[in-house]
A and B are shown apart, each in its own frame.
Chain A
Amino acid sequence: MTRETIAIVGAEQKSGSFFAAKLIGLDEYRILLMPGDSHIPPGDLHMPAGDMWTENEAVTCIKDGCWEADTILLDVAGDQEKETADKIREVSTQKIVLILPDAGSRYAYRETDWDELLPTAAIVHSYGDPHQGRISISGHEKSATDKIDSLLKKLGFETVIK
C-alpha cells in the first residue's frame, strides 16, 4: 500500500502536537510537521518519542509541506490563520483539511470560517477536547467527513459526526 502523507501545520500547538504523536505512533502515514506560528523555526519541532520511520520530518515551508500532503491538519493560532490560508490555498485544492480543535480555548471551537479561507478544499471542522478522547466533526463533503471519521477512530477517538 502506498503511504499517504499527512501534513500537520501547528505541530507545536497543543492539539497539533497531540495529533502528531498519535499519528506517528500509528506508523501508517508519512507525517510532515510544520509550525503554525511563522516565527518558530521548524528545527524547534521535535519528533515525538517512538518515531520509527525516518521519512517523517519537520518541514521548513508550509506551502511545500501541504503541497506534498494528501491530508492537512491545521492547529493555527487566530492571528496566523489568514496568513496560513494564503500560503496553502493554491496547494490545498481538492484536499481534506481537518481543522483541529483549539485546545487552548474554553470551548475548543474555532470561529474562523475556513470554508471561506480555503474555498476549494474539503474542510472538516472538529470540536471537543482531544485529550478526553472524544471529538465531534462536521463538514460539507460526506466523503471527507467519513475519511476523517475513519482516521480518528484509528487513532482511538470516539467520534460524533454532526
Chain B
Amino acid sequence: MYELLHQKFNEHIHLTDQEFDFCKTQFRPKKLRKRQYLLQEGDTAKYTSFVEKGLLRTYSVDDKGHEHILQFSQEGWWVGDLYSFLTNEPSVYNIEALEDCELLQITREAWDNMLEKVPALERYFRIIVQNNLIATQRRLIGSLSETAEQKYLKLQQSFPGCLQRVPQHMIASYLGISRETLSRIRSQLAAKK
C-alpha cells in the first residue's frame, strides 16, 4: 500500500524505517472507483493525495460548459488543488478517477505534523514543488507557442504509457485542440513511421 510512496521518497531523500513508519500513520488510504470524484468544483480541498495506483484527470468547466483538462495524474504523482488545500478556498477544479484508484491522502494538519517530525521531507516536497512549477511553465509556454503536433509529441514523451489509458477526446481537451485535429495528427504521424 505504501511501496510506491516509499520509493518516491527514496529518490530524493533517505528516511529511517522509524521515520517512514511514522509517515504511514499520517496518510489516509482511500480507494476510488472509476468515474468517482476526488474533488468537485466548489469543494474545499481537505486533502492532497499521492497516487499509488490508477489514473485521474483534473479539469475545469468554462461558462459554455466545455471541459478543459489541466492534468493527468498517474502512479507516483501527487494530485489535488494545492491552492485550495493551503488556503481553504473553494476549488475551481474537478478531479475524477479515470480508472479504479488507490490513493494516500493527507490533511493539512497531518502534513504540517509530518514535516515537523520528519524535517527531511521538507527537501522532498521542495523538489516536488520545483518540478511541478517547471512543468507548469513549460506547459504554459508550449500552449502559447507550439504547434498541435509538437504538443502531442511532447505529451507522448511526458506520459509514456499513459496515452493508451486515456480516451482520445480527453487527450484533445488536454492539448486544447479538437478531436478532428488530434485524429489528423495521429494519422500523419502514423504515415511517417
Binding site for B on A (CB under 8 A): 1-2, 64, 67-68, 70, 90-91, 93-95, 120
Contacts and interface: CB of A to CB of B under 8 A. Distances in A.
B138 interface: no
A68 B26 contact: no
Nearest to B37: A2
A93 B110 CA distance: 12
Consensus secondary structure, chain B interface: strand
A1 B42 contact: yes
Contact of B30 (A1, A67, A90, A120): A67
Contacts of A67: 29-31, 102
Contacts of A64: 31
B24 interface: yes
Given A1-B43, A2-B43, A94-B106, 5 more contacts: A2-B38, A64-B31, A67-B31, A68-B33, A91-B29
A1 B90 CA distance: 11
Contacts of B27: 93-94
Highest count of chain A CB atoms <10 Å: which of B26, B28, B106: B28
The 7 residue pairs across chains A and B that have the minimum distance between CB atoms: A94-B28, A67-B31, A68-B31, A2-B40, A120-B25, A2-B37, A91-B29
A56 B107 CA distance: 26
Contacts, number: 36
Highest count of chain A CB atoms <10 Å: which of B29, B106, B107: B29
B37 A95 contact: no
B32 interface: yes
Interface residues of B, number: 22
A90 B43 CA distance: 27
B152 to A, nearest CB: 32
A93 B37 contact: no
A93 B28 contact: yes
Contacts of A2: 37-40, 43
Contacts of A94: 25-28, 105-107, 110
Nearest to B106: A94
B177 interface: no
A96 to B, nearest CB: 10
A68 B30 contact: yes
A91 to B, nearest CB: 5
A1 B40 contact: yes
Nearest to A70: B30
A91 B33 CA distance: 16
Contact of A68 (B32, B42, B105, B107): B32
A90 B1 contact: yes
A94 B109 CA distance: 11
Contacts of B26: 94
Given A1-B43, A2-B37, A93 B107 contact: no
Contacts of B29: 67, 90-91, 93
A67 B25 CA distance: 15
